[in-house]
């Protein structure tokens, strides 16, 4: 990219995080991983990212310990990508940025996030108002909202037309 990717003189952990996660497409890959997307072809069809960019971003996330690459099939050999515990810790970033966009940049919600334990919709900070505690991603169900685009036909978009528990395999 024209501007380089480092923030060498920025003296903060936030800048280090941005050097990894601020690259174009990277946070959308992480978002999809929370939705349960695991295979290269599914990321590709859903994100419309150029192949080379997607491959580079996945490799960088694996190298940083955000995603784990593992073999799920022998013949032919196939790999998939899943969030590590370090990657799962990014949920507050993904959730709060999405809710900020929802409040300020769109007219209606694309998706709702509910607590699987009680069914309540989460508050803007990611806590469950009924259970009075923060909900970890494994206890969250994503459901289509009124603005969800039902015209897309790639497998990820179609699967997300139904409620789905975060981190659980989507396809």
User: Interface residues with a second copy (CB under 8 A)?
Assistant: 1-3, 7, 9-18, 20-22, 24-25, 27-28, 31, 47-48, 50, 53, 64-65, 86, 89-90, 92-94, 96-106, 109-111, 125, 134, 147-149, 152, 157
Instruction: For tokens 């695991």, name the residue.
Output: 38
Between 65 and 119, whose beta carbon lies closer to a second copy? 65
Q: Is the peptide bond before 29 cis (omega within 30 degrees of 0)?
A: no
- Give the residue with the Cβ less far from a second copy, 39 or 47: 47
CB of 29 to a second copy, least distance (A): 11
Task: State the minimum distance, in angstroms, from the CB of residue 19 to a second copy.
Answer: 8
**Beta-carbon contacts of residue 137 (< 8 Å; ≥ 6 apart):** 34, 88, 91, 166, 167
C-alpha–C-alpha distance, residues 111 and 51, integer Å:
27
Residue 48 CB, shortest distance to a second copy, in Å, is 5
Report the C-alpha gap between 161 and 139 in whole angstroms.
19
Q: Which is nearer to a second copy, 22 or 163 (CB)?
A: 22
Q: Which is nearer to a second copy, 77 or 105 (CB)?
A: 105
Sheet holding 140-144, edge to edge: 111-115, 140-144, 164-165
Q: How far is the CB of 131 from a second copy (least distance, A)?
A: 16
Bridge pairing between strands 140-144 and 67-73: unpaired
Alpha carbon distance 78, 88 (integer Å): 23
Minimum CB distance to a second copy smaller for 52 or for 77 = 52
Three-class secondary structure of residue 56 per DSSP: helix
| Least Cβ distance, residue 4 to a second copy (angstroms) | 8
């Amino acid at each position: 990219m024209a501007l380089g990717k480092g923030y060498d003189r920025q003296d903060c952990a936030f800048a280090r995080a941005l050097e990894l996660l601020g690259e174009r497409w990277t946070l959308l890959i992480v978002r999809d991983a929370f939705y349960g997307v695991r295979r290269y072809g599914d990321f590709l069809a859903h994100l419309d990212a150029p192949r080379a960019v997607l491959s580079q971003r996945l490799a960088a996330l694996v190298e940083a310990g955000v995603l784990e690459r593992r073999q799920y099939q022998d013949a032919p050999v196939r790999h998939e990508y899943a969030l590590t515990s370090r990657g799962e810790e990014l949920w507050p970033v993904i959730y709060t940025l999405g809710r900020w966009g929802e409040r300020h940049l769109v007219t209606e919600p694309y998706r709702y996030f509910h607590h699987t334990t009680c069914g309540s919709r989460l508050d803007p900070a990611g806590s469950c108002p009924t259970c009075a505690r923060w909900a970890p991603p494994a206890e969250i169900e994503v459901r289509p909202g009124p603005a969800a685009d039902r015209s897309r036909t790639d497998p990820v978009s179609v699967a997300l037309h139904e409620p789905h528990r975060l981190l659980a395999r989507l396809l």
